[in-house]
Every structure is written in structure tokens, then in C-alpha cells.
Structure 1
Amino acid sequence: MRYSELANVYEKLEFTPSKLEKTDIISEFLKETSEDVLERLSMLLTGQVFPEWDELELGVGPSLLYDTISFVTGVKPAEIKNLLAKEGDIGNVTEKILKRKVQHILFKKELTVEQVYTSFGRIARAYGSGSQNKKVKYLAELLSNASPKEAKYIVRTVLGELRIGVAEGLVRDAIAKAFNIDVKIVGRAFMLANHIGIVAKAAKTGKAALEKIKIKVFIPIRPMLAQLAPDIQHVLKELGEAAMEIKYDGARVQIHKKGDEIKIYSRRLENVTEALPDIVKMARKAIKADEVIIDGETVAIDTATGKPRAFQEIMKRFRRKHDIAGMLERIPFETYIFDVMFINGKETIDMNFRERR
């Protein structure tokens, strides 16, 4: 598929305010998309290249992007920044610069969705010595062959700011509509696979393929979030019999274990294992199952009083990249486990609360 086709759909979506109309646009586009490109295309529609839990990331910041645009167009980074200050969006700035520089490449190659996605992968996998130069090289190759409109959406994707008003939930609804499958079935598959591209590809095959998607250790399950209610009486009236637990002012942690390997994911499904060695140690000691996924809440503790500390203190630990051992001493955690979603090959999410307990 030509990348220009995706860019045209991006443009339609950007200037379509209605969510229902956006769903229709995406649904029709997915119907026309061949199975071999559907997985990648569905990811790109959400503005993502990799799912949140994947440790790969493009690793291109604004400064490196401006240098690349400058390299391709000859416009100095300082001028790019001035244009950005006026325009407010690097995608629009890139499009305008390239329109002025129509003749900047004599022999362009037409970009395909597959080529763009593959190039993003090469950018993400550029590590170590000389990695910045490699990232510039791969991105410059894309921009050199892109039309102004294509370049607009490529640079937005690189910075994670697609700005077309499309989130994963909207693509989920469009998948259900495109392939005439109950949105609840699509939603469940998405909760388990946690990869909108895999879900889209399975949905094109049919309902049975979606129902075959199962929980896998080290692929975090999308969390169920609480709904607000005016009071307890309202909850009991709505649900009938109910169980209650203490709500801690902590951070959600989803702990995955397989053999000796343990990974921890945040509420936003990011891998936070490196920042939380104390929870890894606790899990390794306390969990006897060989394979398990458990849900819990971790709370920062004031060592002087034994009382919970503010939520902001927890985030200091989660975001820490350096001096993790020092931060662990200053802000110790206590972790409370409240659910088991998978254990030794058995999914438990469809069991009722008492059975899981």
C-alpha cells in the first residue's frame, strides 16, 4: 500500500471532528486494506509504531528531528525553530518547508506503508556508538522520498504527536464495524493481546480468530478501571451482591513471572521493572507459581511514621533511571496484591471474585 493513501486518510481524520464519522472513515479504510499490511497500518492509525509495553522506542527528540529536516531541506535548525514558534506544529512546518523546496530531490521513490514502518523499526534499533547518525540517516531517507503531506505525518509520528484525534478505542470500534464483529469480542481480544494491529489482522480472518487470542506472560493485560458512583447505596443497587476492598493511594503494578524472569508493568502498561528492584525481589521470594500474572498496588511509605506518602513520591521511583538504589532507600515501597489473572497456564479473568480469591 502506498503511504500517500494513509496520509490522505490521516488528513481526512484530522479535519473530521465527529468520532462517529472518524470511525466510518477508518472502518472503510480497513475493509480495503490487505491482510499483509493490516497489522502495521492499524498501529500507525493510532500514531504508534510499537505497543506501550514494547521496550523499543524511536528515540528521536525534537533537536535530532530539526537537524534531520535541516539536512534534507537545507533550512537551518534556527529557522525551523522560528517557524515552529509561529506555526505551533512541526508537521505543518515540515510540510510548508518541503512545498517551498519541491525540487530538493530529483529521483524520489514512492513510499509504501511497509517501507515507512520498516524504517521506523531501523530507527528504533539504532543503538550504541554512532546511533544518532544512523537515526538521522534512516529518517532523512524517508523525508527525502516523502511528499510534503507525507512528511507532515511522518515527523508527527516520530515525535508521538499525530494530532488526528484517533485513539486505540476508536480504532477498536472501527475494526468491529469493518469486519461486522461484536465490539465486545474485539475489545476483549484487545485487552488480552494489547496490540491493535494483531487484533485487526485477526478480525479480518473472523470472530473465531479473535476468540483464540489468549493471555501471554510478559504481554500486559489492559487494566479494568473503576467507575465513579455517587455513594455505596447506588453501587449496591446497581450490582446487588458486592465485595469491597481498601483503596490505596498508590500506583498500579502488574507483575508477570515465568520461571526466574519477572517483569513489572505500570497502569499505562510501560515496563518499569528496572526502577522497582525491591518489588522484583519481593515477587521472586513470595510467588511460588512458575507462570503467573498478578495485579496489585504499590504504596510509598514514610519510614519515620510508617504511613503512606504522597502519590507524587511514588512517581519519583517509577520514573527513575539513575541512582535507583539510593532512591529505593529514600522512598521504600509496600505492595498489596489484589488479583490473579493467570496462573500456570490457566486464565482466571472469567472466574468470579470468590473463585479467584
Structure 2
Amino acid sequence: MKAASSALFLEFSLLCEKLSSTSSNSEKVRLLASYLRNLESEDLGIAVDFLLGRASRVRSSEGRANVAFATVRDALCQVVTFSDDQLLQLYKEHGDLGEVAMELLSSGHAAPLVRGQLTLKRIRDGMDDIASAQGSGSEKRKVMTLTGLLLDSSPLEAKYLIKILTSDMRIGVSEGFIAEAAAEAFSVGKEAVRKAYLLVNDMSKVAVMAKEGRLSDAGFSLFTPIRPMLAEPASSARQIIDDMGRCYVEDKYDGIRLQVHKKGGEVRLYSRAMDDVTRFFPEIVEQISRLNEDFALDGELIYEAGGRLRFFSLQKLLRNEGRREKHPLKFVAFDALYAKGRSLLDLPLVERKRELFALGYDNCAPFKEVSAPEDLERAFKDSIARGNEGIVAKDPESTYQPGARGKRWFKLKKALDTLDVVVIGAQYGNGKRKGLLSDYVFAVRRSRDDPTLVPIGKAYSGLTDEELRDYHDFFMRNKIGEKGNTVWVLPRLVIEVGFQSIQRSARYESGYALRFPRIISVRADKKLDEIDDLQRVEDLFKAQG
């Protein structure tokens, strides 16, 4: 049996290489189970984190090492010689910094006289050191730490070191694969692992619980956010009534999905991505603190200006941590997850609504019961008139299913089709936007199982000049290289784009192009693995007739 925390990083890297090269789901599970069952608990937790792209456990890092492209470039410069043009060309060929690092180190790099051994624990310690570096000299500290790891890395280890560092694994492994592999590795039920994950919301902890026979300990607890239940898109009010019949209908707000947890005098706020965003919204904390009960609520954070809800204004608050002046913000609650000392997840919505309104919170989302398409259509039009996105219709008997999207909740939005995409490049504008990165090149995933990014269009409208200046600075910090008028960047900014139609096009690798694309919103609450894929594009293309 291995000593605790002695698992070699090379073994982990070899596993990742095998996982990325197989398209068989069953083979992925077999490979994962075979590897995970031989790890001690600490290594097991680290390995699962790394497989899912969680680099660090430093609380403020939210799983990310928070490094700019320049940090990776400067560290690589310490161990191998290359030009900026060579780096850009390699990135354009691979679209993956890890692959770039492997190719650069394969050409020969400055190895130390005595090469240290890389273990999972050493890599995690390095990631934590990088994630915690702040203030004067922090960039130098990050580069030194990364350089030390790269000097002891083989080309293959360097590949996965950088992929973990940038939270960009893209090896076709999700929480679902890990759950199935943990069940096989430790001879426990798949459903028991899945249920524990929905409640604990941390697959590395769940894997350790499965190994140690503690899955029965899993339960909903305050200050452990869960994945929000999602609504299925609907094409019409008739479809919703046909599928669900009687339903509760409420406005779909144009804001930020938020979970609010309160226990005693402590209040924590969590985003859709389950990041702790409490520090950004002290006024919401103050509002919630006035209530007496302990609870967890699901809802939407909205900003109201001139009667219209402005998502961009909220996003700006998220990008400015230090701001504390008052803003016209409010949290609208539409579901109760925990109250009176117990989880409410298994209760039907009708009972959860009852518990929600019993808390005495002033900003509970109003709702009404409807059973006819014309009533649902009227509710939709009324919501649009109030400046909202549309409506959400919910089955009164639906239990709360974390992370699930199905026919228990439906959303009906404005007629404009939209896609969630990621920005991969930006071009300089003209006229008053000269010298400003204002035209965004964006991409979708090739498929749900293939995270390769394929370009599908370019948008240059929808953002204000002030917003463009903010994102110009963001892109320059995440710049990979520059060629002609285009700055190529790391895929870190998810945006929602609207468009008039989709057409086939040989101009983009996706085979499609959006006609008259326009940026609807910047989705700081969404991660790279949540963007749309080519199947969604093809479905919308066919639906055009």
C-alpha cells in the first residue's frame, strides 16, 4: 500500500492521456476506477480535484489558481527558449496551453542537476501557493513556484501541470464519470454516490466518503451551496401546458442567480457557479440579516434602474470587489431549500413555497397558478411589459433536483434566439473605438463530449464604451498572442449572443455563421463547460425551416 500522499504525478498524467484518447464512456470509467481505488484518501481528493480542473483549495481562489497567460509564458521562458511568434503559432495549432508546454519542453529544457519527484501533494501545494500569492511581489512568486515545478517536469507532466493550473483539462471527464468510477472502485451504489454529490456538491469529498464508507453522512448543510435546479427551454405556452398541465408561473428576471444561506448572524451568498460572492453585496447581507430564522433560499439578484433590469450593471459590481457604496439591488427569492432545521429539497414545490412565504421576507417572487395556454401567454406578455426576460413555469409537485434540467420546470423567453459562447479573440475597432478591442471572435464546443472550441462568429455591438474598456484590459491580461488586427486570448469570458439567423459558412471551422450577432450579456456566472455546442447550433439552424 502506498504511503499517504505519495502518488506520482506522472501516473496521473499517464491516466489523463489515456482518458483523453478514448471516446468509450465505459473505458473511461474503467480507467478511472482502476486508478482511484489504489489511492489513499488525501491523494484521492487531490486527484479528483485535478481531473475536474480544480487547481487549488485556497478559499479565495474558488478552485482556480488565478494566473494570467503572462505568468505561464514567463515561467516557460525560464526552462526553454522560444519566441513570441512561435508561442502564438503553437497555440493556434493546438488551442491548448498544456499541449504547447509539452511541445516546447519536448525540444529540450533546462533540467536541474538533481531532479525532484513530482507527486500529487507537491503539485497541490504549488497550486495553493500560486493561488494565495497577493500584493507586491506576488507575480514574481507565482513565476518562481511554477518554474520550480516545470524544471522537475517531463514534457507530459508539464502538459497536465499547465492544464490544471489554467483549469482547462478538457479530457472528457465530468462529475458523472467520477461518480460512476467511485461507485465501481469502492463497491458502493451509483445512486448513493450521485445523491451524496447533489447534497455535498464536492466530488472529491464524495469520492473520499465512498472510499471510507461514509456516504450515509451526506446531507444538505448550510454554507455548502448546491447546483441550482434549471428550467427547460420551451417554444410556446401550448407546449408547457401540454407537458405539465397545471403549473405555477412567475417572472423570469434578468439578473444573477443567487443562493442565500443564513445561520444565526452569518449570511453567505453563492453564485450559479457556487462561488462565494458575499463580499460583493454587503447591502443584500444586511437585508437578509434582519430575518430571524436560519434558511437557504434560491432566487435572483437584480438591479433596477429606470424600471428596467440591467444585467451589465450587476456584472460590473462583480468585477469591482472593493466597491461598497449603496446600489439599488435586491434579492428576489423564489424557492426555499432549507428552513426550520431541515432540508426541503424532497418536498413538493407547493410546500416549499409555503415555507418560503412563512419566513416573512419582503422580496419573495410573486406567482400564480394557471392551467390554460392563453393564461400562460398573458403572463408572458405581462412579464415582458415589466422589463423581464419572460416566464418560468413550474410543476407544483416538483421536488428540488439540484443541477437537473427536465420537464418539471420550463422557461419561455423573448423570441430572439441566443447562444452561450466563449470569446477566443478580439479585434481592434475603428473610429472612436480605434485602439480598443471591440470586436469579439467567439466559439462553441464541438460537442458535449468534445470540448474542442470551434469559431462561429464575431460580434461588435451590445456593450457600452465603458464596458469595452474594462474588457480590453481583461483581454490584454489573458493575451496569448497577436497577429494582424487580432489579439488571441485564453477562453475565459463567456458571453450570451443574440442573432437574426444562422447560415452555413465555410468561413468558420464550425461550418456555421451567425447573421447580425449582438452581445446580449456577459455571463460571469457561467463556466467554459456550460457553453453551447454544435448540436445546439444545428438544432436552431434546422428550426429556422
Residues 30-74 of structure 1: CA deviation (Å, up to 9, x unaligned): 2233334111111111121247x9422412211011001111224
State the Cα deviation string for residues 166-205 of structure 1 (Å, max 9, x = none).
2223322322333343333222211222211100011122
Distance 1:342 1:162 in 2: 34
1:92 deviates by 1.8
> What residue ranges of structure 1 are gaps of 5+ in the alignment?
none
Contact 1:256–1:264 at 8 Å: present in 2 too?
Answer: yes
Q: Look up the match of 1:203.
A: 210
Q: What's the CA shift string for 1:243-300, capped at 9, x where partnerless?
A: 4444333321101223332221111112222222232222123x212x3221112223
Residue of structure 2 equivalent to 1:212 = 217
1:291-342: CA deviation from partner (whole Å, max 9, x where unpaired): 3221112223233xx3x424444433334435453xx54xx23322122222
Q: Is the 8 A contact 1:70 1:76 kept in 2?
A: no
Residue range with higher mean Cα deviation, 20-29 or 261-270 = 20-29
- Residues 230, 80 of structure 1: alpha-carbon distance in 2 compared, 3 angstrom cutoff: closer
Distance in 2 between the 1:74 and 1:197 partners?
A: 37
Distance (Å, rounded) in 2 between the aligned partners of 1:334 and 1:68: 44
Instruction: Tell me if 1:276 matches 2:272.
Output: no
TM-score if structure 2 supplies the norm length? Answer: 0.58
Aligned partner of 1:333 in structure 2 is 329
2:261 alignment partner, one of 247, 256, 280: 256
- Which residue does 2:104 correspond to in 1? 97
- 1:296 match: 299
For residues 77 and 71 of structure 1, the distance between their equivalents in structure 2, rounded to whole angstroms, comes to 14
Aligned to 2:145: 138
Q: Which has the higher helix share?
A: 1
More strand by share: 2
Q: Does residue 20 of structure 2 align to residue 14 of structure 1?
A: yes
Find the residue that maps to 1:48 and give its secondary structure. Answer: coil
Once the two structures are superposed, the pairs formed by residues 1-357 of structure 1 within 5 Å of their partners are 1-50=7-56, 54-56=59-61, 57-75=64-82, 79-101=86-108, 104-206=111-213, 209-228=214-233, 242-285=247-290, 287-289=291-293, 291-303=294-306, 306=307, 308-321=308-321, 323=323, 325=325, 329=327, 332-343=328-339, 345-356=341-352, 357=354
- How big is the shift at 1:85? 4.1
Q: Which moved more, 1:264-273 or 1:218-227?
A: 218-227
**Contact kept in structure 2, 1:14 and 1:164, CA below 8 Å:** yes
* 1:219-249 deviation line (CA, Å, top 9, x unaligned): 2122121234566676667667654444333
Instruction: Give the aligned length.
Output: 345
**Structure 2: runs of 5+ lacking an equivalent:** 1-6, 355-545
TM-score (norm 1): 0.86
User: 1:85 & 1:231 partners in 2: Cα distance?
Assistant: 42
Q: How big is the shift at 1:150?
A: 0.3
Asked if 1 retains the 8 angstrom alpha-carbon contact of 2:183 and 2:193, the reply is yes
Task: Sort the Cα spacing of 1:118 and 1:345 in 2 relative to 1 into closer, same or farther, 3 A.
Answer: farther
In structure 1, what is the equivalent of residue 363 of structure 2? none
| C-alpha distance in 1 between matches for 2:309 and 2:110 | 60
Which of structures 1 and 2 has the larger relative contact order (alpha carbons within 8 angstroms, sep 6+)? Answer: 1
Task: Among all aligned residue pairs of Structure 1 and Structure 2, give the percentage whose two residues are the same amino acid.
Answer: 31
Paired letter, 1:284: S
Q: Distance in 1 between matches of 2:34 and 2:233?
A: 35
Whole-Å Cα distance in 2 between the matches of residues 81 and 130 of structure 1? 27
Partner Cα distance (2:280, 2:110) in 1: 49
